[in-house]
Structure 1
Amino acid sequence: MTTTAPGKQSFLRAAFGGMPRPFWALWGGTLVNRLGGMVLPFTGVFLTQTRGLSVAAAGLVMAVFGAGSLLSQLVAGTLADRIGRRATLTGGMVATAAALLALGYSTTLPAILASMLALGLVVDAYRPASNALVADLVSPEDRPRAFGLLFWAINLGYSVGMTAGGWLAQQGFLLLFWLDAVSCLIFAALVWRAVPETRPEAQAESGGFGVVLRDRLMIAYTLVILGDALMYAQTYTMLPVAMTSLAGLTTAQFGTAMALNGVLIVIVQPLVSGWLGRRDASRTLAAGLVVMGLGFTLTAFVTNTAILAVTIVVWTAGEIVTAGIAGTILATLAPAHLRGRYAGLFGLAWSAAGMLAPLLGSALLEVGGQRALWFTTGGIGLAAAAGMLAIGPAVRRRSTDFDSPLAGAR
């Protein structure tokens, strides 16, 4: 007993220690919000079964949501730099709660379209502010671990929320909307009360999105992240279609295999985030992208649940590697007073991938079947990794320019 306790304490310190108290408020709010995030995964079911929309009308509604999401990241990033990280995050969460309830009570197509556009505009508005807060609050050496812990909280909350949401949806969808809205308000309250404003006041109004768009290194990095996002977006767009329609798996078999993704992240992420943070960020991200690309390429050969499980283990390993590193590099590239805007462009890549992935994936499936889709997806991962290695030296030079020795001192 006495011989193992110190080791356990050492592990806990390595995995969870050293973070400032406001970070844990942000982490706790993120976890609560993801635990309550039950509406979006079941939106299509709500629209078609509860509101009686046709598949085409439901597709239109989801496209409107995607358009709002594209604008969201840029607007929220600007607000995080202008009015502050805390105000943007809490305001976005309160607005998300209102939009969720508006959607839950909407019964006509125009009202549903308006509510979904509003939800798209605000549901991810917290992300640029959250990224900027982590960069402001946490020292450079601890940022990979901090971003990894946030990724862990998101996946832990999402796994539990999805399971509960599937059961609660049978009791009535309106309950899901209320629980999701309450979780947003709890997140807002935690941040407002426990997280200080970290925006650099002296430079709060200097610069703009033009500065970000003229930063060729940031543009190149955004393209790398777009490649990452295009791969990952296939997991919730074309992967379910390909596995059930072409590989012959049942939905139950697919769901069981996909559960591995969340389980592995929850178990492994805290164990490796500290170690990954001590590696060179650019090379580590490139390695993670290669592993993800390999996992998706292997998906072309799936014929049963066991092989699918193997591919999921491979690309999940890559996802774990990239999770904490991507935000770390973003924090390295951005001047402190423009962290919100840089995070907005970073988030735009993920929003764009959410719209492009199903279009690209469905076209590839129609033209060349599974091999065309998964070989192309794997190729995107390799291209993104090569791009990351190419800009790695510039990223390392930038790291000496913007990281203040006072970061994390607040």
Structure 2
Amino acid sequence: MAVLTSRPPLAPPGPLSLPRPFWTLWLGTVINRAGAIVQPFLSVYLVQIQGFTLPQAGVVMTVFGVGSLLSHVLAGWLADRYGRRLTLTCGMLATSTAMVLLGAASGFFAVAAIAFLLGLTIESYRPASQAMVADLVSPAQRPRAYALLFWAMNLGYAVAMVAGGRLADHGAHAMFGVNAAVAVVFAAVVWRAVPESRPVEGPLPAAGLRGVSRDRLMLAVCAVTAAYGLLYAQAFTTLPLAIAEQGITRTHFGLAMALNGVLIIAFQPLTGIWLARRDPGRVLAAGTAIVAAGFALTALVHDARGLALTVAIWTAGEIVIAGTLPTIVAALALPEQQGTYAGVSGMSWAAGAVLAPMIGTALLPLGPEALWNVIGLVGALSALGALLIAGPIRRRTVAG
């Protein structure tokens, strides 16, 4: 029978006050995200290379999204049951295999089936990484650690967007091959340089979703997270369509959206220590309110400068939330449930993101004012929900 053990620290703190295994994980995340070039160009590949119609490509992308949605919970449970390192490593190897198969597949049904498998594996590293950070890093340092991990993802994504466009020009095989190879590198880095951090010995019969379903406070956090996902995902779903109707060119839209990445890379590392001293529930509420304000103000935008200002506002809220939300989830979970809680949290955000284009495109014909006022209201309700549960989160964290 598996029992909790009091393991000694896995590694002495590094020069930047976080454990060395964390920095290895951070570096692996940068490498992995820098090579994650297939997903942003997948729809283009389906239409231009596979020759699918737009409805067919939409079905494949939906199937991929469903797999990605399930990936969070499955990987989180596996991380608790069999270990963080094993789950992350096997997940990346499975992702690499699915990448190769998808690059070689032809025909609608074969591509759709493999796209589902790719979605089921491609996000497996997230709950495992989040649980690993909770294991390795003290509660006081978690906001900074999670913020740095978020920064690593954005740093790598910026590289992927540049490299992906060039590799796509050289053919689909180069794009899929590089992405598959990078996934193997990430798996190797973790397996060789990051020790298992789960505070148990042997396979653990994890409580799974049943344990989360009985945690009312965690369910409230999931509701706030889903609403935030619906709010934030508008940036990449409805916003490009709405801005065209508000008289802004695609070039100016691209430049304004690039500001999002620039601000995150420039300021994210500077916020972790300051935010770690604040109440996490109130920080989550404040960050969500800022994001909501940024999108609500988009209703008043009629030029590139106005758009850039709103992007800067909701990016500031995103920076505030990035390290706070996973910190709250880690604080609510028992050590042996970190993966499952992280997976459910990730699935909640993804569920909101799936609903985002449905709701956004339904509101778009009513005009920009109706669209952004409703989206802003969703964000305001999410911020209010975060504020209402801030006290219970603080009391439970202190009690823990």
Check if 1:373 corresponds to 2:375. no
Q: Please list, as runs of the form range in 1=range in 2, the aligned pairs for 1:130-279 lying within 5 A after superposition.
A: 130-201=129-200, 204-244=204-244, 246-279=245-278
**Greater mean alpha carbon deviation, residues 229-238 or residues 54-63:** 229-238
Does the 8 Å CA contact 2:33/2:160 hold for their aligned counterparts? yes
2:275 alignment partner AA: L
Distance (Å, rounded) in 1 between the aligned partners of 2:78 and 2:39: 24
CA shift at 1:205, angstroms?
Answer: 2.2
Check if 1:283 corresponds to 2:282. yes
Counterpart for residue 5 of structure 1: none
Q: Please list, as runs of the form range in 1=range in 2, the aligned pairs for 1:106-121 lying within 5 A after superposition.
A: 106-121=105-120
Does the 8 Å CA contact 1:249/1:304 hold for their aligned counterparts? yes
**Greater mean alpha carbon deviation, residues 320-329 or residues 103-112:** 103-112
1:143-167, CA deviations, whole angstroms, 9 ceiling, x for partnerless residues?
A: 0000000111111111121022122
Does the 8 Å CA contact 1:261/1:312 hold for their aligned counterparts? yes
> Is the alpha carbon distance of 1:211 and 1:387 closer, same or farther for their aligned partners in structure 2, counting shifts above 3 Å?
same
Does the 8 Å CA contact 1:145/1:273 hold for their aligned counterparts? yes
Distance (Å, rounded) in 2 between the aligned partners of 1:111 and 1:16: 49
**Greater mean alpha carbon deviation, residues 393-402 or residues 21-30:** 393-402
RMSD: 1.4
**What runs of 5+ residues in structure 2 fail to find an aligned partner?**
1-13
Counterpart for residue 7 of structure 2: none
1:375 alignment partner AA: N
CA shift at 1:105, angstroms?
Answer: 1.3
CA shift at 1:44, angstroms?
Answer: 0.9
Q: Per the alignment, in what secondary structure is the counterpart of residue 376 of structure 1?
A: helix
Distance (Å, rounded) in 1 between the aligned partners of 2:278 and 2:161: 34
Counterpart for residue 336 of structure 1: 335
CA shift at 1:174, angstroms?
Answer: 1.9
Distance (Å, rounded) in 1 between the aligned partners of 2:192 and 2:154: 25
**Greater mean alpha carbon deviation, residues 269-278 or residues 324-333:** 269-278
Distance (Å, rounded) in 2 between the aligned partners of 1:303 and 1:201: 56
Q: Please list, as runs of the form range in 1=range in 2, the aligned pairs for 1:310-389 lying within 5 A after superposition.
A: 310-366=309-365, 368-389=366-387
1:39-98, CA deviations, whole angstroms, 9 ceiling, x for partnerless residues?
A: 111111100011110000000101111111222111111101101111111111111111
Q: Please list, as runs of the form range in 1=range in 2, the aligned pairs for 1:78-93 lying within 5 A after superposition.
A: 78-93=77-92
Does the 8 Å CA contact 2:226/2:350 hold for their aligned counterparts? no
CA shift at 1:19, angstroms?
Answer: 0.6
1:2-49, CA deviations, whole angstroms, 9 ceiling, x for partnerless residues?
A: xxxxxxxxxxxxx98101010011101110011011111111110001
Distance (Å, rounded) in 1 between the aligned partners of 2:156 and 2:354: 24
Does the 8 Å CA contact 2:77/2:206 hold for their aligned counterparts? no
Distance (Å, rounded) in 1 between the aligned partners of 2:301 and 2:106: 41
Distance (Å, rounded) in 2 between the aligned partners of 1:201 and 1:318: 36
Check if 1:309 corresponds to 2:308. yes
1:229 alignment partner AA: G
Structure 1 length-normalised TM: 0.92
Distance (Å, rounded) in 2 between the aligned partners of 1:205 and 1:257: 48
Structure 2 length-normalised TM: 0.94
When the two structures are aligned, how many residues end up with a matched partner? 386
Distance (Å, rounded) in 2 between the aligned partners of 1:176 and 1:271: 34
Distance (Å, rounded) in 2 between the aligned partners of 1:56 and 1:293: 32
CA shift at 1:273, angstroms?
Answer: 1.5
Does the 8 Å CA contact 1:299/1:311 hold for their aligned counterparts? yes
Distance (Å, rounded) in 1 between the aligned partners of 2:152 and 2:239: 24
Counterpart for residue 388 of structure 2: 390
CA shift at 1:206, angstroms?
Answer: 4.7
Does the 8 Å CA contact 2:131/2:338 hold for their aligned counterparts? yes
Check if 1:64 corresponds to 2:100. no
Does the 8 Å CA contact 2:84/2:132 hold for their aligned counterparts? yes
CA shift at 1:191, angstroms?
Answer: 0.8
Does the 8 Å CA contact 1:168/1:175 hold for their aligned counterparts? yes
1:164-206, CA deviations, whole angstroms, 9 ceiling, x for partnerless residues?
A: 2122212212211111111111111111111111222269325
Does the 8 Å CA contact 1:66/1:354 hold for their aligned counterparts? no
**Greater mean alpha carbon deviation, residues 374-383 or residues 140-149:** 374-383
1:389 alignment partner AA: L
Identity over aligned pairs, percent:
51
CA shift at 1:397, angstroms?
Answer: 1.5
**Hey, which bits of structure 1, 4+ residues long, moved more than 6 A?**
none
1:331 alignment partner AA: A
Q: Per the alignment, in what secondary structure is the counterpart of residue 313 of structure 1?
A: helix
**Greater mean alpha carbon deviation, residues 268-277 or residues 194-203:** 194-203
**What runs of 5+ residues in structure 1 fail to find an aligned partner?**
1-14, 403-410
Counterpart for residue 9 of structure 1: none
CA shift at 1:207, angstroms?
Answer: 2.6
Q: Per the alignment, in what secondary structure is the counterpart of residue 99 of structure 1?
A: helix
Q: Per the alignment, in what secondary structure is the counterpart of residue 201 of structure 1?
A: coil
Distance (Å, rounded) in 1 between the aligned partners of 2:346 and 2:49: 31
Q: Per the alignment, in what secondary structure is the counterpart of residue 18 of structure 2?
A: coil
Distance (Å, rounded) in 2 between the aligned partners of 1:206 and 1:81: 6
